A and B are shown apart, each in its own frame.
Chain A
C-alpha cells in the first residue's frame, strides 16, 4: 500500500471513530439526563417510594450507559482490529 493511501486510510478511520464516539456519548448522556430528571421529579412528588425509584434508577442508568459502551466497542474494533485493513494489506 502506498504511503498516500495509508495516510488517507488512517485519517478517514480516525475521523469516523471520533465522530461516532462524540455522537454516541452525547445521545446516551442526553437520554440519561431525561431519565434522571423524571426520576427526581417523581421522588420529590412521592417521597414514600423514593427508595424503590432510586434502586430501579441505578439499574436503568447502567443499562442506558451500555448504549454508549456499545459505541465504544465499535470504535475500538475500528481502531485496533479494523476489518478492512486486511483488504489493503496493512
Chain B
C-alpha cells in the first residue's frame, strides 16, 4: 500500500525498523513472563523455601515440619476479655454466582450459606459446638438454657429470660418468649415448597407453652436425632410480626443474635453492627461485621493480601504464593465441610447388575482423587464424613482399588469385552474440583477395566431435572456438596427408599431397616452401630460412591482473635460474639 506523503512531526521523525521492533517486543514479552512467574510463586528456589508439599500418601493431617500452617486446636477457653470495637471484614459465603440468599428466613431456605449468615444475626434453641476436639461436636444450649426429656416422646426446653429481639421494626426489641418458639416450629411444619426441610422435623407432634419461658415438644414417636437437628445452623427462631409483614422475604435478617443487619446491598455487601441489647453481657466485642460479596477467586485473594478482608479460605495451591507476599498471615488447617462423589442408578442398565456397580467402584484409586482435586489434602469419605465422628466407618473398611476383581466381576456380568455408560455432572462447570473433573479422573481409571465413560455435561437446571425429577440417568457426579453435622440429613433423604427423594432407586430392604433402626435407637452407641452397618452395605453394593472430603485452609490477619470454624460451613459463625481484633 503506497503511503501518503504528509508533513512529519520532528518527534516522530526517526523510522523504526521492523526487526528492531520485533526484537524489542520479544524482550518485553520475556521480561513480562519472568515478572509473572516470580509474582505467582514460580521458581524452584523459592518453592523449596516454603512449606513442603506433602508427598503422595503422606498423612495429610500432619502439617509439614517448619510449615507456617497450624493444625486447628480445640477452642481455647477465653479467660481474658477481648478489646471492644472494630469492624471485621469478611467475604460472604463461597465462590460462585448464585451465592446470595434467596429468602431472608433461614428455616425456609435450602441455601446453606444463609445458615452461615444467620450465625451472626440469629439464634436457635440449641447449637453445635466443638467442645473437646475438632471433629467432635456437642449440642449445647443457645436460646434454651436447658432441656430435659421426661420420657422418650417429650422434650422440655427452659428458655433464657431477658432475651430481646433486635430493635428494628416490626419486632422493635420486644422480649423473646416461648410463643415465638411455638410460632417458628408450627409455621415450618407446613412443609411443602415453602419449607422444604420440614420433613426433618416431622417427629414433632405438638408444641405447648405452659408459661413464657417453657416449651414442651410432644413427639409422635421416639426420635434420637431431633435435638441434633434443632441445632442445625438454619434452624433459627423467627418472630410472628416479621412473618406477618414480610412472609419469608424480609429485607434483612432479624433475630436475637450478637449483630443487627443494618443494610443489605444486593451484589455488594451485608453490613452488620453490634447488637447493644445482646443477651450475653459484655458481648459481642466487635463493633460490626462487613460481609463483602465477591464471587471471583482472584479478587478474593487480592482482598486478603491487601487486608481488605481479615480472613478467608485459601486453596492449598495458593498458600505458598500468599505466604511470600504476606508472611504475616496465620494459616489454619482444619477438616473441611464439602464432599464429592458419584451415584449409579440401580434401575438403569448396566447398573441393574450388582456386579457392575461393584466393578466401577473397585476401579477407583482414591489417592488420585486426593492428589488431583485437593493436592493431597483430603481424606476418603466412607459414607459419614469426619465431622460426624462417632458414625464414621474406619477407613480400613472403605473401598480400595482392585482392578483384577473388577475385571472378574464385569466378565461374570457378561461384559468381558467392556461396556460403555454415560454420567451427568450436576453442574457443567469444568473448573478445578468440579463434578466434571471428578468424572474425567474416573473415566481415566475406568479405561483400565475396559469401561468407557461418556461425560454428558448439561446446564445445571437441565441436569437437576434429569437427575432429581426424571431420574433419567445411568450415573451422576456431584462435587463440593455441603456436608451436615448429622448423617440423617444425607442418608434419610438420598438413600432411604421411603423418603420419596431417593434418586438412585436403591432397593435393598436391609438399608431401609438399618436407617429406620438408627432413628429408633435408644443410645448413641446403638445408632453408631446401625450407621456403620449402612455404610458397609453401601460399600458392598454402592448406590453412592463417596470420594473424599478436603482439608480447608483459612488465612487470617495476625490480629484476628478467637476464630473458630463452623463444622458444616467451614468459616466463622456461631462464636462471632467472642471474636475480637487485637489492632490498637
A and B associate in one complex:
no
